């Protein structure tokens, strides 16, 4: 509960920025519908791919910047002095990076049917985006422990993309989820893809976050000057 309260305070402090970002899918839907009530299927698929990548970037750069902002404002010292453990604090940063993505996915779920994509395309895209964002948030928070915000965001996206480089036979569920976002929906063994993807994502995201906590608990706080 402490993590959730801190995350809410972080999000509330930047509420207008988050509101504009979360409303982006409605703007894109309006743009596509200006030319007619039935956009071309290729335009819809391109828009979904673009907005999925945008969603991952939103999580990566938000998660990468939060710790640095807290250090510059020195708010981190105040929070940690109030019987908040470093694990709880890092959990709050993770939630603050991930929760806007949940609203973003909900917006895509509401605006997507207006554009008329096949249901399996929309729901596979949103499912893959949601699962990959769990890993992205953990990667971004971990990278922010040692790297500046923008660089931490870039590094987390690069590391997230590494499974795409695995050769056939060595690919993991994360590989297939990334392929769904970038190349289109799975046509075979869909339940297996998402079942394995869900399990693998929870384990991978949890392991990365646990590693980040162990590092954070052993580090001195570096407060950045204004």
User: What does the pLDDT read at residue 27?
Assistant: 78
Question: Which structure tokens are listed for 86?
Answer: 């470093």
Does residue 223 register a pLDDT over 60? Answer: no
For residue 131, give the nearest of 52, 197, 186, 57 by alpha carbon.
197
- Which tens digits make up the pLDDT trace of 64-86? 988 888 888 778 877 877 778 88
Does residue 226 register a pLDDT over 60? Answer: no
Give the model's confidence band at 45: pLDDT under 50 very low, under 70 low, under 90 confident, else very high.
Answer: confident
Q: Express as a percent the part of the chain with pLDDT over 70.
A: 93
- Which tens digits make up the pLDDT trace of 92-129? 999 999 998 998 899 888 887 777 777 888 889 999 99
Q: Lowest mean pLDDT: which of 32-46, 174-188, 191-205?
A: 32-46
Identify which has the larger pLDDT, 143 or 193. Answer: 143
Mean pLDDT of the chain: 85
What are the percentages of helix, strand and coil residues in the chain, rounded to 5? 80, 0, 20
**CA atoms within 13 Å, Cβ hemisphere of 158:** 7
């Amino acid at each position: 509960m402490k993590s959730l309260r801190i995350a809410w305070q972080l999000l509330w402090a930047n509420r207008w920025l988050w509101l504009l970002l979360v409303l982006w899918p409605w703007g894109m839907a309006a743009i596509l519908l200006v030319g007619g009530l039935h956009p071309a299927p290729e335009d819809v698929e391109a828009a979904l791919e673009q907005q999925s990548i945008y969603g991952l970037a939103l999580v990566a750069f938000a998660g990468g910047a939060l710790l640095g902002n807290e250090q510059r404002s020195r708010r981190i010292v105040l929070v940690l002095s109030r019987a908040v453990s470093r694990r709880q604090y890092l959990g709050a940063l993770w939630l603050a990076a991930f929760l806007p993505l949940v609203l973003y996915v909900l917006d895509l779920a509401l605006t997507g049917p207006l554009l008329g994509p096949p249901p399996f395309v929309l729901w596979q895209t949103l499912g893959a985006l949601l699962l990959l964002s769990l890993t992205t948030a953990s990667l971004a928070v971990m990278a922010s422990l040692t790297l500046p915000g923008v660089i931490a965001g870039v590094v987390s996206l690069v590391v997230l993309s590494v499974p795409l480089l695995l050769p056939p036979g060595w690919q993991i569920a994360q590989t297939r989820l990334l392929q769904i976002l970038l190349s289109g929906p799975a046509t075979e063994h869909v339940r297996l893809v998402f079942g394995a993807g869900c399990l693998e994502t929870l384990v991978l995201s949890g392991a990365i976050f646990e590693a980040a906590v162990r590092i954070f608990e052993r580090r001195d706080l570096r407060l950045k000057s204004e």
